Amino acid sequence: MPTFFARRYARRPDAIGRTEKVLSLVILVVVAGLVAAIVLHLTWTWGRAPIPCAEIYQQSMPQPFPASGLADWAAPERVESFAPDELYQKINGRADLYLQHGVKALWFGTYTCPVNGPRTVDVYWYEMDTPANAARIYEAERAPDAPTVGIGDAGYQVGGAVFFRQGANYVQVIPGSLDGADAQVALTIARQLAGVMSSTALPTTQPLQDRIP
């Protein structure tokens, strides 16, 4: 190193002073520390910065339906979803009533149980635009003397089928057997469904139209 920096002329003849040595040392240490800090900072944080979308690839399908809460009953494998203008495909003439009450989406799925069956429980999950509208459609369909059940914001059960509303959602849980044999199952499933819906104004699931992924 000295030969590299030797100059073609006279230079300071003596050894350098102590102040200069100390100062130089300090500067070298500081600069080395800075470089080390940069390198460490970069290598420690060098990894995959989380790209949020990749995390959700486990869910390959919108699956609003929770598990049934019962051993033999499987959650719906196949979920049908309907936008407002497609509603009639599922519920025919009744679609008008729902459209008047501001329906945003219908999710339909079937819980199945192979034991003693196959037994089924159909779930019609209507997302309305406001809780007020959910309440109105709930009242419109409610039989006046139906016994209430403590599910969601308000609910009742008639003939084994459970109807309840929670937030801006209106749900019908309808067993396949008409003799009320699966009434208790319907209650359990309804309770599970109410559990995944938040009771705040915003529905947990969002409209089908105009989503930007």
Under the rule (CB under 8 A), what is the footprint of another protein?
A: 1-3, 5-16, 20-21, 23-25, 27-28, 31, 35, 38, 41-42, 44-49, 51-62, 77-78, 81-83, 105, 204-213
Distances from the Cα of 153 to the Cαs of 97, 111, 121, 177, in angstroms?
21, 23, 22, 26
3-class DSSP assignment, residue 39: helix
* Nearest distance from C-beta of residue 86 to another protein, angstroms: 8
173: nearest Cα among 183, 182, 163: 163
72: nearest Cα among 103, 34, 38, 116: 116
For another protein, the closer CB: 41 or 94: 41
For another protein, the closer CB: 86 or 153: 86
For another protein, the closer CB: 154 or 208: 208
Side-chain-side CA neighbours of 86 within 13 Å: the count stands at: 10
* Nearest distance from C-beta of residue 24 to another protein, angstroms: 4
- Residue whose pair of structure tokens reads 């203008």 in the numeric block: 85
For another protein, the closer CB: 18 or 179: 18
* Nearest distance from C-beta of residue 125 to another protein, angstroms: 14
